[in-house]
Structure 1
Amino acid sequence: MLWLRPALRIEAERLHLRLPLHSDFRAWSALRAESADFLQPWEPSWASDHLSRSAFTARVRWANRAAAQGTAVPVFIIRTEDQSLLGAITLDNIRRGPAQAGTLGYWIGAPFARQGYMREAIRALVSHAFGAMDLSRIEAACLPENAASRRVLEASGFKYEGVAQSYLQINGRWRNHVLYANLRHDRRGRTDAGL
């Protein structure tokens, strides 16, 4: 008998998180194109085929494979009231064994920024990670000058932990990143985020 895994869906107040579908291509490519100037300063350089159907198909396949294998939770952020695609959030680099940790990454379309959607999505995914997945630590990193990303992490319970030199290649250059973490059993007080 074939056992089908239930579809991943994480509910929040105004939105839900779910795996990307092939039918999301038009909404995804339109939102990424419309938000390019807003997103590109904070992201790795886009490949020439970044917005192509073939690149999106590869993303969908990877997302489904990674979710099935338990190595990542790559989900789209969907506004429940009208099913609009708002952005994406991924819990990646999931480490089991003594670490029980993962790394958070996210983006939101320019029209939906600064409306609390990303904070809601982060809180929902972190709750899922600490509960259903039994992880202990969620890490995140962003550019030091990305004040909006730092604020959303702090508002979502992440605490500043330091700076990683030449952490990621962003927009074609190796860049330092500030590191944050959210711990399931956090005994730390508030930390100075260095803003």
Structure 2
Amino acid sequence: MEGPHIKVREITPDEAPALLELQLENRDWFERFSPARAPGFYTLEHQLQLIRKQEEARRQDQAYEFGIFTNTGGRLIGTISLFQIRRGPLQSALIGYDLSRACNGKGYTTEAVRLLVDCGFRRLGLHRIEAGVMPHNIASIRVLEKSGFQKEGLARQNVRINGRWEDHQVLAILNPDDGEEGAEPEPGQATDKMEKRQ
């Protein structure tokens, strides 16, 4: 998946050092809005394990995690994912993302969100993609609204972050081409589509 300034693609095991570097350089920046990191998170071994778990989650049609790379130079500057994939009558997922502090304010996150939403609707057959953002994270809310998400309400004390239960603004976007007669993908069908089209 490619936009004017960035590419969104899978992170390979040999890119684990670049992923670790991204996490270390942005540790304080990312942790402001993230649940507690697991022990050993900031090690090469742990990042490699995460990449391998992401590969398995894709095979199981449970989650789709990608890196955000610059078109010029191919530098890893962030991550973005569709996770908690729910099939059957729901056909929904959550979206989450992190972008390097040095690259904020350049439109890269909005570009990545739009690419992944398109992937979720056109390739994975999702009907609904939802996001939860702490209300004071105005920049992230703007990214989602520019990408077509609409506010739906407030989830009170929704996620434990830095030792506190934090409220989250719920935003969602619906597949505009998903009619009521749309067929439900069979298990594994979405994964096959991703492998064929990427």
TM-score normalised by the chain length of structure 1: 0.87
Q: Which of 126, 136, 156 is equivalent to 2:127?
A: 136
Structure 1 segment 9-158 matched on structure 2, within 5 A = 10-158=1-149
Quote how far apart the aligned CAs of 1:169 are: 1.0
Q: Which runs of 5+ in 2 are unaligned?
A: 178-198
Q: Which residue of 2 is the match for residue 175 of structure 1?
A: 166
Moved more, 133-142 or 41-50: 41-50
Paired letter, 1:70: D
Paired letter, 2:35: P
Q: CA RMSD in A?
A: 1.3
Q: Which residue of 2 is the match for residue 191 of structure 1?
A: none
- For 1:58 and 1:125, the matched residues in 2 are separated by 23
Q: Which runs of 5+ in 1 are unaligned?
A: 1-9, 187-195
- For 1:171 and 1:30, the matched residues in 2 are separated by 22
Contact 2:159-2:167 within 8 A present in 1 as well: yes
Runs (4 or more) in structure 1 with deviation over 3 Å come to none
Q: Which residue of 1 is the match for residue 189 of structure 2?
A: none
The answer to whether residue 160 in structure 2 is matched with residue 159 in structure 1 is no
Equivalenced residue count is 177
Quote how far apart the aligned CAs of 1:56 are: 0.7
Deviations along 1:121-144, one digit per CA (max 9) or x if unpaired, are 000000011101111100000101
Quote how far apart the aligned CAs of 1:172 are: 2.0
TM-score normalised by the chain length of structure 2: 0.85
